[in-house]
Amino acid sequence: MPADERRAAIVAATLPLLATYGETVTTRQIAEAAGIAEGTIFRVFHDKDELLLAALDAALDQGLSEAAYAAIDPSLPFEEQLVAAVDIVQRRIVDVWAVVSNLGPKLREQASRPLTDSDALTAIFEPEAHRLSVPPRRAARTLRALTLAVTHPMLVEGAMTSEEIVHHFLHGALTEVTG
């Protein structure tokens, strides 16, 4: 197996262990989860810290979310596209929190980075730009922020469903608009 593929396989095996054990995960546990000899880890990673940083980078990589947003069927009604997008955001929040919440100070500092705007999420809003009160990029950013606020385990007990989030995002909390 080429070194890049081996690294990716080891990182993939490390992610759930990092979520469970944090920085105390052992290279023996990682090797067992990856189905490799412990020494194989050190053929593609300089040390455990390099491996843990690579796993953290993988957990924080927005590429999979971008691909998932882009895969949402554009022929779906706008609201259904947003529900699918919020499902993706909510899964990401839970997955990232599972990893980050178990990190020690050294890796937690590495995890402190702002999210970048999502081009693929913004693209869902662009065909509806004429109906939006804000530009598509701001709408995408706001939907993601709202989803974080009502999903993150440290901010709320009992997350809202994706349908509820989209409804509140698009229609607000009022039952009717009065003049």
pTM for this entry: 0.83
pLDDT band per the 50, 70, 90 thresholds, residue 116: confident
Taking the C-alpha atoms of residue 168 and residue 176, their distance in angstroms, rounded to an integer, is 13
Instruction: Let me know whether 14 and 45 are in one domain.
Output: yes
The residue-averaged pLDDT of 74-80 equals: 97
Whether residue 136 sits in one domain with residue 74: yes
Residue 28 belongs to what domain range? 3-59
Task: Tell whether 84 is covered by a domain.
Answer: yes
In a domain, 167, yes or no: yes
DSSP letters, 5-70, are HHHHHHHHHHHHHHHHHGGG--HHHHHHHHTS-HHHHHHH-SSHHHHHHHHHHHHH--HHHHHHHH
Per-residue pLDDT band for 152 (boundaries 50, 70, 90) equals confident
Q: Are residues 47 and 104 in the same domain?
A: no
Give the tens place of pLDDT for each residue, 15-61: 999 989 988 999 999 999 999 999 999 999 999 989 999 998 898 89
Domain count, the chain: 2
Is 67 in the same domain as 112?
Answer: yes
